[in-house]
Amino acid sequence: MIYAEVDLYKSLSNQMSYALGLGAATQDDGVIPYVRLALQRTRDSHFFEIGDYALLDNPCPAAVVSGATNHIIDLEVDTQFQWIEPQQAFSLQSSFIQESQNWAARDVEGLTSSRRDHVDDLTVTTSELIHQNYGMTKSYDQIDSNPKYGTCVNDKVFSGVWVAF
């Protein structure tokens, strides 16, 4: 089966953002397009999916709606495998997101030390449910980026949860 999705997002107006108690809203230069495409396959008790998405955002700094804008592009690829039986279930998910950032507006304002940045995020998660009573989830997340605002992110996070139902 092929799954396809196309969405257009728009940022909140400042009036709505303040009404919700969020303060000034980040404004965008137009709409934010999002596209997702995935291939899915189910066979007996197995499910497999591989997909990707892209998102393009042009945020304006400090709710300024004219002049230079920043440009952010997210590209992602993901996969998922599930095996489900009456007494046991196992799943494995992974995703890799690469975000390219062009801080043109912040560069004009002198707010960034690097006009072009990137962020890479790799996440792998596995879950198992045994006898519909005991569950375990393990996740690994690695985030890498080049310097931005004088800092550098290079984090690796492991997490795990045991749950008894």
Going residue by residue through the chain (165 aa), what tens digit of pLDDT does each one get?
A: 999 999 998 887 778 878 888 777 777 777 889 999 999 999 999 999 999 999 998 877 655 556 677 888 999 999 999 999 988 999 999 999 999 888 777 655 566 666 778 889 999 999 999 887 888 999 888 888 775 443 444 555 555 555 544
109's enclosing H/E stretch is helix 104-109
Domain boundaries, the chain: 2-164
Global confidence as pTM: 0.75
Listed residue (93, 88, 165) closest to 126, CA to CA: 93
Burial profile 29-65: b = 16 or more Cβ within 10 angstroms, e = fewer: beebebebebeeeeeeeeeebebbbebebbbbbeeee
pLDDT value for 52: 96
What is the C-alpha separation between 110 and 121, in angstroms, rounded?
A: 27
pLDDT value for 3: 95
Distances (CA, A) of 19 to 23, 100, 114: 8, 32, 35
pLDDT value for 103: 76
